[in-house]
Structure formats: structure tokens, C-alpha cells
Chains A and B, each alone.
Chain A
């Protein structure tokens, strides 16, 4: 009996012993380009056991006789399962990158993006504030990127040969119809939105997605802050005004309200202004934001800002003094709701409304403009598979424009009202052919009820990864835009203006260390507004016969590595552009374009004294201008532009509260910044023209501000 038990036990032991027989598998794991992959996980299937690859991509794993399957996994790559042959002791694997990998290709053609959540971004969200010369204006910082014109007399974004109106600004994907304060002649304007309200920026200098239209040159998308998690009160005291804001928060929701007051009078009374100011700019602003997140992942955002401002100055031409008096206010409300829906898809719906009311008296001309713009959008992002994401949607932009004009001298008067619905429908699949190659093909249809015109724009963009951090990009598309109010208020018998973009570029590096980017483009403009003259409030022969082209190269280099504690970027743009449009008598380079533009932006952190210093240097070749009487149109050149600005931020605390003291100084070199001349008809009716120099109002602008965060960081 015992013997039988013993023999049973012995056989059992032997069997047990046999299952404990092991073999060693050695091998390597490499990527497609034969580079070794380090830290790849080799798991013996069905167990917790295994090994990882070493610095050479080699591994060694101990297998029991009854284990024969290995699972090879590595983040960003497609897992492999290998069934080993009974005598096999060596295994060499090549892993393929997964298209869902975070390192997979993203389409960046023509785009500069900033934000903590953005892949392939080229700017940090703090860059807007800390770039010298920007004076806290988003556009100021963007103008140090290639593809933009310095245009110090304008203040708005002029991109790759296009006018300011050819760039549209979006907040959270919905149109912000009036992103700048009203532009008056001879004074640059600035952006209306404070950079502190946004956490991300996407600036596309061409070839943008079919989701957007009505912008011949470029779009700027500002993404407002997410839900705040800390209650915060901020106070800003500046040489030109003051600002206060408060944020309240609860789990899954936050609300902020802010108020600001700007008055240039105290500063202007000390500074040397070229303009004869009667009432320097005085403005107030109120903003309100609310964010709410729901359990299913849906998010509601409300962003609104209201401002009202006045300014009054005298201009003198030939001893004739004209008073320019502007008063106006704008309200902007932006509501968005995004929610996950069926099948991993996302729905985004929103509505944005701008109400703008401006009254301007320029000598005898009294103009009252009222504009209401309401844009509504619904878009769905639907992943059809791991490789294909489909986006489609519909939008409607309603604009009602009303202008009351009175000439107090000749008692002439007219009133114009136009209204327009621009309906847009788009569909755009984004297809990842592999982890290295992706393209986006879109189609956008638009119809304007006022112009009674429709357009169909195809868009294509493409990216191919040539290395871990490099890619080649290309884009092409057709872009249509309604002519501006100035022309459409007289007639609806005109057509969309049109542009075709062709871009190709190369980008390498990453934001943490060094980034280099070069992009070449060709743009063909067609159907631009052209006319013979403007007499008796009529544009003679108004038509879409204008045309033009723009071609050039933009280069960008950013470096945070080479010099300790220093972050700098260099931009260079070359542009060759000519237009024959408006009242141009020949095809020439327009007067707002510099052929060569170079910008250098640097920031250096002096840890020992808790200070960051920054400098921005912009050099641009002289802009063309036309001297009345010349037979060759627009044949003269203004001097080249050379501007050096400097800023300093000192981080400290007042009592318990984190404080930043900020000082900035523009045009340190004291240059005259003469960028051209404006031909103004002589008041004596002789038909002569007076050449009015276009120069900044204040040669060198000094700014001082103290920003305090109360009850928090």
C-alpha cells in the first residue's frame, strides 16, 4: 500500500520536476529603422513574469516548458504575440509604431500653436505675455512669428501679403467678428481680448481646415481657459489703467468676472505725442466667464466681454485742423457646449454674437455704424476607425450692418442697411495611413444670401514623419471671402474674393529644446475688389476684376537649450507679392508689405534676482508708397524699419500675495519709424496732394504694471 502511494508520489514529483524544466530565450527588439528599443516589455503569456530589453534592445527571458507564447509590448507601438517553436531559443522582433501613439504624425501645415495640451506646438501659453513689445496684446506676440508683417501703423495681423480683414479670429471655434478696437486713420489699434483669458492659441498662416471659411489669408483660434480649480482674485495696476478680476470655483464648475479701466491721458500728458490729443483713449471693459462640466464628460462654456471707449484728437493738414472724435462700444457673447455622443464621437454646438456700435465724427463727416453678427455652429467629430476621423458640420453667420452718414457741411445724408446670412457646410476626414503619414481632405460649401453667391472650397493637407521629431508638411486649398462692408454696403452685385494656397514645409525638433521650421508658399488671388475712383460716395466701376499673387518663404527657429536660462526665437520672412486691385493702376507690391522681415525674441531668467528680462528686435525692409503725381504707381520706398523693445518682469510678493512687476520700453533705439506716406488732397481744392508721413504717435512707449494674485498663486 505504502509502496503504491510512494510510487504515485514519485511519479508526481517527477512530473512536477519535468514541468520545472526551463529554457532561456534570448533576443532583441528593434524599431522599423533598426534602432534598438529600450525597456520593451516581454511577458510570458498568462503569467506576470517576463523581462525587459536593456540599453541595446536585448533581452533574456526564462521560460517553463509549458509556456511557449511571449507578448511583446511597448508604449506607442503595436503589441506582438509570438508562439515559440518547441526548440526555439532565439527571437528577434521588429515593432511597428501604432497610429494611436502620442508620437504619431499630426498635421501642422501652416500652423503655429501654443498650449500645454497641444502636440507639435511651437509656442508656450506664457509666450504671449512675456514677449517684449507685445504690451499684453496677443497680436503683438504673434507678429514676431514668420509670415506676419510688423505693420506698426496698423496693429492688426497682416499675414503673407494679405490685408487685415483677410485674417479671422475665432474664440473656442466661433467667430469673434470684432477682435480689434476700431481702427482710426494714423493710429494703430490693438486686440480686444486679454491674453489671460486664453490657454491655447492656434495661428494658421494658410491652408487651414475646411471647418472654417471667410478668411482669404489666415485664421487665429483662441481657446479660452478650462475650468479653474483655485479661487483667485487678481488686481492689476498699470501706468495706463487698472484691472480687477475674481474667479470662484466649485467641483466641476468655475465662474470669473473682471473689470478694467484704461485711460491714456496721464501718460500722454508726460509723453511727447505727435498727435494733438483732445481726449486720449479712455475705455472700460467688463468680462464674464462661466464653465461647467457634466458627469458624462460634457462641457459648457460661456465667454463674454463688453467694452466702451472714447477718443478725440486733431489732425492738421495744410493748416487745416480736423477733429476726429470716436465713441463706441462692443459686446461679445460666446456660448459653446461639447458633449460625447454615440460611438466615441463628439458633438460641439455653439453660438457667438457680436454687437458693435461706433460713432465717428471726422470734421464734417459724421458716421454711425451699427453691426450685429451672430454665428451658430454645430460640428461632429466621429472616429470611423483607429485610422479615420470624420468631422462634419454646419454653420450660419448672420450679419446685419447699418450705417448712418451725415455731412454737416453740405447737409448730405444717407442710410445703408444690409443683412446677410452666410451658410456653411463642411465635411473633412482625417486619415492616418500609418504612424508616419496622415492627410486631411475637406470640402466646404458656402452661400451668401446677400451676394446671392455660392462657393465650394476643397482643402487638402498632408504630413509625413521623416524622423522621431521631424516631418514634411504640405497643404492646398481654395478660400473664399465676402468683400468688406465698405464695398458691400453700396451693392450686392459683387462676388466672393478668392485665394488659392499652395504650401510646403519641413519642421524638426521639439519645444523643450530646439525647433526649426521652414515653409514655402504660393498664393493666387482672384476676384479681388477693384474700382476706378471714389467720387460722390460712389465707387466708380466697382467689380471683382482685381487679382494678385503672393509667394515667399518663412523660417522659424526656437532654442531653449543652447544658452543657459535663455529662451529665444528667430523668424525670417521673405515675400514677393503684387496686387492689381482697389484703385491700383498697375500691379504692384501693396504699401503694407515689407519684402524682408526679421524678428528676434529673447527671454533670459535671472534666478538670483527673480527677474525675467526680454527683448524683441524687428528689422523689416522699407515699405512701398505712392507719391501723388508720380507716373509709376507705388514706386517709392520708405526707409527700413528697425525696432528694439525691451521688457522686464520681477517676481516678488506683497504681503502674502504673489506679485509681478512688469516694465516695458518700446523703440529703445529711438528710431523715427517712418513707414510711408499718405496722400491727402489739399484743402484748397487746387487738386494738389499733401504727403502726410505715417509715423507712430509716441516714439518710445514706456509701460509699468503691477500684477497681484490675492488668495492663491
Chain B
């Protein structure tokens, strides 16, 4: 009897490995937060793209592909390589915008991509304007999205004090994000939840050396 049960569970596991959406997404999302090599991230992004191709009515797989490419930029220092990864992220996001333009997370990711384009000061004005415009759109769609204020805070933090930026201005934005991150606590959801840890780190930076 025990052997039969074991066999059944083996066959069940086999059945699960091909095509369980929730499980596949969860595994890839958790893997994404563990790796820091661009090649590995690209492979995970490709996993998400395959899931997206198989699950036409879901926006999350393609979103995570775009997010993965965006996230990879944290581990790259070469400006051209950053542009290349962001181009891939933008391509995925552009397709998503066609069918889901009222989803606030897409606009936040767009804002994030724009701000990462600032690899040298001459790009500062153009892309920070575009980034803030996207964040305003995201806020109109869902003012409770903590990532909006985390990104806004990041933009302000990196804007020179000369043009109304700096730590003091960024702090209240990170604080607002912190409160909203706290109430966003559904660990079973596949929805984006990135930014919480880094937001806390940025908040400490603002409290530091004040």
C-alpha cells in the first residue's frame, strides 16, 4: 500500500511539472531573487517568456520577464550593456501596454526603466522627466502602490539638491512607501512585491548623516 502511495505521488509530481502555472511562476520568481549574473537572469526572463507564450490571458509572466531584464541592470556597470538589457525590458513592456495600459504596475516599471537609462548626467533631464510622468500616471491608476513612492523617492534622492532633490526631500516618499509596503502582505500572491527591502535601505540612508 505504501509503495502504491509513493508511486501515485511520483506520477502526480510528473503531472505537475508540465504546466502548473502557479508553481512555475513561484519557482521562477524566487529564483530571480537569488541570482546576480546577467546570463542567469536572462535565462529566467526566457522562462517567464515561455510561460507568457503558453498563458495568453495572464500579464504577470511577461511583466516578470520585463522586470527581470530591468533588475539585471543592478549587476552591470557598462552603459551600453545596461541600454541593451533595458531595450529588452522595454520591448516586453511595449507589448504589455497594448492590452493592459490601465495596470499601474506597468507604469511603475516603465518609470523604473526610464530612471535606469540615466547612465550619464546629460541624460538626466530627459529621462527623469519621462520617469516622473510615468509615476504620475501610475499614481492616478492606483495611489496605494508602494513602488510608486519608492521610485519617486529614488528619483528625488538621486536628483542634485540644486534642482530640488536630495535626502531630505526623498525621505517622506520612502516613508510613505514603507507604510504601503507594510500593508502589502499577501505572500501567496504572484503580483509584484519588489522594492520593500531596498526601500528600507534607502530610508536608512536618508536618516543617516542628516
Q: Which residues in A have some Cβ–Cβ distance to B below 8 Å? A: 5, 9, 12-13, 16, 39, 41, 43, 46-52, 54, 71, 73, 75-76, 102, 116, 124, 126, 229-230, 251, 512, 560, 565, 567, 605, 607, 610, 651-653, 656-658, 713
B122 in contact with A102 (CB, 8 Å): no
Q: Give the Cβ gap from A180 to chain B, nearest Cβ, in Å.
A: 29
Contact A75 to B129, CB < 8 A, known contacts A47-B19, A565-B122, A657-B164: no
A102 to B95, CA, bound (A): 11
User: Which chain B residue lies CB-closest to A712?
Assistant: B132
Residues of B contacting A: mostly: helix
Nearest Cβ on chain A to B29's Cβ, whole angstroms: 13
Ranked nearest first, the 3 interchain pairs of A and B with the lowest CB-CB distance are A229-B136, A607-B121, A52-B46
A9 near B3 with CB under 8 A, answer yes
Residues of A within 8 A of B46 (CB): 39, 41, 50-52
Query: Do B122 and A73 touch (CB < 8 A)?
Result: no
Chain B residue at minimal CB-CB distance from A567: B122
A565 and B130 within 8 A (CB): no
> Quick check: which of B6-14, B188-196, B197-205 contacts chain A, the rest being far away?
B6-14
A71-B53, A229-B133, A605-B122 known; A251+B19 contact, CB < 8 A: no
* Cα separation A607 to B162 with both chains bound (whole Å): 12
CB proximity to A under 8 Å, residues B1-44: 3-4, 7, 10-11, 14, 18-19, 24, 39, 42-43
Residues from chain B with a CB closer than 8 A to the CB of A116 are: 130
Q: A13-B7, A48-B50 are in contact. Are A713 and B132 (CB under 8 A)?
A: yes
Q: Please measure, in the bound complex, the distance between the C-alpha atom of A658 and the C-alpha atom of B160, giving whole angstroms.
A: 11
Q: Which residues of A contact B49 (CB under 8 A)?
A: 41, 73
Q: Which of chain A's residues have a CB closer than 8 A to the CB of B137?
A: 229
**In the complex, B91 has a CB within 8 A of chain A:** yes
- Which residue numbers of B lie inside 8 Å of A, CB to CB? 3-4, 7, 10-11, 14, 18-19, 24, 39, 42-43, 46-47, 49-51, 53-54, 83, 88, 91-92, 94, 120-122, 125-126, 128-130, 132-133, 136-137, 140, 160, 162-164
- Residues from chain B with a CB closer than 8 A to the CB of A126 are 125-126
Chain A residues with Cβ below 8 Å from B54 are 46-48
Residues of B within 8 A of A656 (CB): 164
Rounded to whole angstroms, the CA-CA distance of A567 and B125 in the bound complex is 14
Q: A39 and B132: CB pair below 8 A?
A: no
- Tell me the bound Cα distance from A264 to B51 in angstroms: 65
Partner of A49, one of B50, B120, B122: B50
- A sample of 19 inter-chain contacts (CB < 8 A) reads A5-B4, A9-B3, A16-B11, A39-B42, A41-B49, A46-B18, A46-B19, A46-B54, A48-B50, A48-B51, A52-B43, A52-B46, A73-B49, A75-B88, A229-B133, A229-B137, A251-B140, A605-B122, A713-B128
Complex alpha-carbon distance, A43 and B54, angstroms: 10
Residues on B with C-beta less than 8 A from A651 are 125, 162-163
When distances are taken between beta carbons in the complex, the residues of chain A under 8 Å from B3 are: 9
CB distance from B46 to the nearest CB of A (A): 4
- Residue of chain B at shortest CB distance from A251: B140
Nearest A residue to B28, CB-CB: A48
A526–B125 Cα gap in the complex (Å)? Answer: 48
Give 9 A-B pairs besides A16-B10, A73-B49, A610-B162 with Cβ atoms closer than 8 angstroms.
A9-B3, A43-B53, A46-B54, A48-B47, A52-B42, A54-B39, A229-B140, A230-B133, A653-B163
Chain B residue nearest to A124 in the complex (CB): B126
Give complex CA distance A54, B43 in Å: 10
Closest to A658 in B: B163
B164 touches A47 (CB 8 A): no
CB distance from A8 to the nearest CB of B (A): 10
Contact partners of A229 in chain B: CB under 8 A = 133, 136-137, 140
A13 to B47, CA, bound (A): 30
Instruction: Report how far A652 CA is from B132 CA in the complex, Å.
Output: 18
User: Which of B7, B47, B91, B164 is the one whose CB lies under 8 Å from A658?
Assistant: B164
Q: Are B7 and A713 in contact (CB under 8 A)?
A: no
Min CB gap B151→A, angstroms = 14
Q: Is the beta-carbon distance between A50 and B50 smaller than 8 angstroms?
A: yes
Chain B residues with Cβ below 8 Å from A13 are 7
Q: Which of B14, B88, B126, B164 has the most CB of A within 10 A?
A: B164
Given contacts A13-B7, A126-B126, contact A230 B132 (CB under 8 A): yes
Distance in Å: Cβ of A374 to nearest Cβ of chain B: 34
Known: A126-B125, A605-B122, A658-B163. A41 touches B136 (CB 8 A): no
Q: In the docked arrangement, what's the CA distance between A601 and B129, Å?
A: 24
Residue on B nearest A53 in the bound complex, by CB: B46
CB distance from B124 to the nearest CB of A (A): 9
CA distance A651 to B54 in the complex (A): 50
Of residues B4, B24, B53, B94, which shows the largest number of chain A Cβ atoms within 10 Å of its Cβ? B53
Q: Is the CB of A230 within 8 A of B136?
A: yes
- Check A653–B162 contact: CB distance below 8 A: yes
Q: Which residue of B lies closest to A513 (CB)?
A: B80
Task: Give A622 to B121 CA distance when docked, in angstroms.
Answer: 41
CB-CB under 8 A from B14, the residues of chain A are 16
CB-based contact B129/A73 at 8 Å? no
CA distance in complex: A41, B50 (Å)? 8
C-alpha spacing A605/B210, complex, angstroms: 30
Q: In the complex, which residues of chain B have a beta carbon less than 8 angstroms from the beta carbon of A73?
A: 49, 53
